[in-house]
Chains A and B, each alone.
Chain A
Amino acid sequence: MAKVPVEFTLNGSEKAEFIESGTTLLHALRDKIGDTSPKGGCHQGTCGACSVIIDGELRLSCLTLAETCNGADIKTTAGLAKGGVLHPLQRAFLDAFATQCGFCTPGMMMAAKVLLDRTPNPSRDDVVEALSGNICRCTGYEPIIQAVLLTARANSQNAA
C-alpha cells in the first residue's frame, strides 16, 4: 500500500512521517513516533485508554486515521510534565492514589484535561460524565474522580 506523508504537532514539536495509508493515529504515535503514552486497550473505541487531544477535542486515537491529522495539534499524556515538573493532574493522581496498574491512566488524564480546560470548576457529575468513556479495572473510579476534583481545587487556589 502506498505510503502517505503526515505532518502534525505533537506536544508542541513538529512531527513528519511517512505512514501506510490506513494506519491509526495510535499505531503511528506508538510505533512510528515512539510516544507510547496512549495505550492500546480494545482497539475498537470502547475502553478510552488510547485517548488523545486533537485540536482541543478528546479523540480516540485507535479510531482516528493518522492521515486525517495533517496540520493538527495533538497532545498526549507524555506532554503533560514540563521540564521534569509534573502537571497538576499528574500530581493529583499521585496524591489521590488514583492509579494502580496504570493502563487506563493516560486516557483518564486526557479526558480530565479536556474537561478542566473547558470547565475549570466541574461538579462531581461533570467529572463522572467526562470519564464515562474510559474503563478502569482496578480503582473503582472513585479515586480518579477525586483526583480530578482535587486538580480543579488546586487550580482555582493557584488562580486566586
Chain B
Amino acid sequence: MAIRRGRGVAAINYPTGMNLGGDPTQALVHSTPTGNFMVTLSSVDLGQGMKQIMAQICAETIGVPTDRVIIDTADTDTGPHCMGTFASRGTHRAGNAVIQAAKEARQVMLEVAAEELEVNASDLETDGQGNIQVKGAPQKSISIFDVALSAHFKRGRSISGRGMFLIPRSYPEKETGAMKPSTCYAHACTVAEVEVDDETGEVRVLKVKNVFEIGRALNPKMVEQQLVGGSWMGISHALYETTEPYYPNRDHGGTDFNQYLMPGPGDLAQTEIIVLERPSADGPFGAKGPGEMCANPQIPALANAVFDAVGVRIDALPITPERVLRALKAQAAG
C-alpha cells in the first residue's frame, strides 16, 4: 500500500456555437442624444463578462472610448433575437452582430458629422477619444456629443444600426456524412500530475498545466480569469461533482449544495495557464469561444494520470475513491 504518482495528458477541440436550425444572433445599436451608444441584446451576462466584451467591440467599431457604450441585455420579449447564452457562442455570435450594427451606426454618425463640417463623410475619421476629424487635418473636428445633438435636434437622423450574424445550418452530405457543424474551434491541452493512494482510492491533484488556444483574447485579464476558474471546474468535474454520490441507493443522493461536492480553497492544485492566440477567420476581431472548453481537458488528463499512477482505467465520472478502489480490486483479481 502506497501513495503512487502519475502524470496524464489530454487535448481537446471545442466548437464555438452550435448547429441546430441555424445559429443566429441580432444586435441593435443607437446613440443617445448626448452621443453615448446603446447596444441592445438578448444575450445574457451571467458573470462571464459579456457586457464588457460587447462594449469593447462596439467602442472599437464606432471609434469611441469603451465607457461611452451602454450594454442593455434587456429581455427576450423585447430585445433583438439571440439563440441564447450557451455553447460558448456569446462573444463570437453576438460580437459579430454588434460589429455589423455598430458599422451602420458609425456610417450615419459620419454622415451627420460631414454635414456639420461641410466635408465628405469618406474624408472623416474618429480619434477614439470621442471626436470626429478630417483625415490629415485634425484641427477640423467635431465632438461626437455635438454630432449626436445635431442628429437629434437639427438633422432628424437616427444614429443607429442593425446587426445580424447567422451561421446557417449545416446538413450532412448523404453519401459521406461529412458536414461542418462549426466554423470555429478553440483548442486546449492539459498535463496533470496526481497522487493516488492505493489503499483509500483518494486522488490528489498536484499540478495542472493548461495551454489554451482561444483565438484573439479580446480582454486578456478576463480570459485568464475564465481559464483559471475553468481549470478548477474541470478538476471538480473529474473528481468530485455528481448528483448521485451514494451508490447504489438513489434515496441517499444529495439534496442541496452541502451534499454536492466541489473542491474548496484548500483543495487547489498548482495551476498554470498558457494562452495561445491564433485569431479565428470569422470571429469578431479574431475571437473564439473560450468559455466552456476550458473546463474539459482536465478530465481526460486526470483519468490518464490515474491510469499512469495505479494502472486502472476509470471510465465513469467522477473518479471517486470508491471507483478507484473497485477498479484496483478488479485488477488484483486479474
Residues of A participating in the B interface, judged by any CB pair closer than 8 Å: 41-42, 44, 46-47, 97, 100-102, 127-129, 131-132, 135, 137-145
The answer to whether A140 and B233 have CB atoms under 8 Å apart is: yes
Q: Which residues of A contact B48 (CB under 8 A)?
A: 100
Sort A-B residue pairs by CB-CB distance and give the 6 closest, nearest first.
Answer: A140-B232, A101-B47, A46-B258, A100-B47, A141-B265, A140-B229
Compute how far the CA of A97 lies from the CA of B228 in the bound complex, rounded to whole angstroms.
11
Q: Which residues of A contact B228 (CB under 8 A)?
A: 139-140, 142-143
Compute how far the CA of A129 lies from the CA of B265 in the bound complex, rounded to whole angstroms.
8
Checking A97, A101, A128, A129 against B224 with a beta-carbon cut-off of 8 angstroms, the contacting residue is: A97
Q: Which residues of B contact A137 (CB under 8 A)?
A: 233, 262
Q: Which residues of B contact A100 (CB under 8 A)?
A: 47-49, 225-226, 229
Given contacts A132-B265, A137-B262, 10 further A-B contacts (CB under 8 A): A100-B225, A100-B229, A127-B265, A132-B264, A135-B264, A137-B233, A139-B225, A139-B232, A140-B271, A142-B271
Distance in Å: Cβ of B210 to nearest Cβ of chain A: 11
Distance in Å: Cβ of A95 to nearest Cβ of chain B: 10
Compute how far the CA of A15 lies from the CA of B34 in the bound complex, rounded to whole angstroms.
41
Checking B229, B257, B271 against A138 with a beta-carbon cut-off of 8 angstroms, the contacting residue is: B229
The answer to whether A144 and B265 have CB atoms under 8 Å apart is: yes
Distance in Å: Cβ of B208 to nearest Cβ of chain A: 11
Residues of B participating in the A interface, judged by any CB pair closer than 8 Å: 46-49, 221-222, 224-226, 228-233, 256-258, 262, 264-266, 268, 271
Point out which of A131, A142, A145 has the most chain B C-beta atoms below 10 A from its C-beta: A142
Q: Which residues of B contact A140 (CB under 8 A)?
A: 228-233, 268, 271
The answer to whether A142 and B47 have CB atoms under 8 Å apart is: no
21 interchain pairs (CB within 8 A)?
A42-B256, A42-B257, A44-B256, A97-B221, A97-B225, A100-B48, A100-B49, A100-B226, A100-B229, A102-B47, A128-B266, A128-B268, A132-B265, A132-B266, A137-B262, A140-B271, A141-B264, A142-B228, A143-B228, A144-B265, A145-B265
Compute how far the CA of A127 lies from the CA of B268 in the bound complex, rounded to whole angstroms.
13
Q: Which residues of A contact B256 (CB under 8 A)?
A: 42, 44, 46
Distance in Å: Cβ of B52 to nearest Cβ of chain A: 11
Distance in Å: Cβ of B302 to nearest Cβ of chain A: 15
**In chain B, what residue has the closest Cβ to A42?**
B257
Q: Which residues of A contact B258 (CB under 8 A)?
A: 42, 44, 46
**In chain B, what residue has the closest Cβ to A125?**
B266
Compute how far the CA of A97 lies from the CA of B225 in the bound complex, rounded to whole angstroms.
7
Q: Which residues of A contact B226 (CB under 8 A)?
A: 100
**In chain B, what residue has the closest Cβ to A96?**
B225
The answer to whether B224 and A135 have CB atoms under 8 Å apart is: no
Q: Which residues of A contact B271 (CB under 8 A)?
A: 140, 142
Point out which of B225, B226, B232 has the most chain A C-beta atoms below 10 A from its C-beta: B225
The answer to whether A41 and B265 have CB atoms under 8 Å apart is: no
Q: Which residues of B contact A145 (CB under 8 A)?
A: 265
The answer to whether B268 and A141 have CB atoms under 8 Å apart is: yes
Compute how far the CA of A96 lies from the CA of B319 in the bound complex, rounded to whole angstroms.
32
Q: Which residues of B contact A47 (CB under 8 A)?
A: 257
Compute how far the CA of A145 lies from the CA of B232 in the bound complex, rounded to whole angstroms.
14
Compute how far the CA of A38 lies from the CA of B40 in the bound complex, rounded to whole angstroms.
30
Compute how far the CA of A50 lies from the CA of B141 in the bound complex, rounded to whole angstroms.
53
Compute how far the CA of A141 lies from the CA of B331 in the bound complex, rounded to whole angstroms.
37
Q: Which residues of B contact A102 (CB under 8 A)?
A: 47
The answer to whether A128 and B225 have CB atoms under 8 Å apart is: no
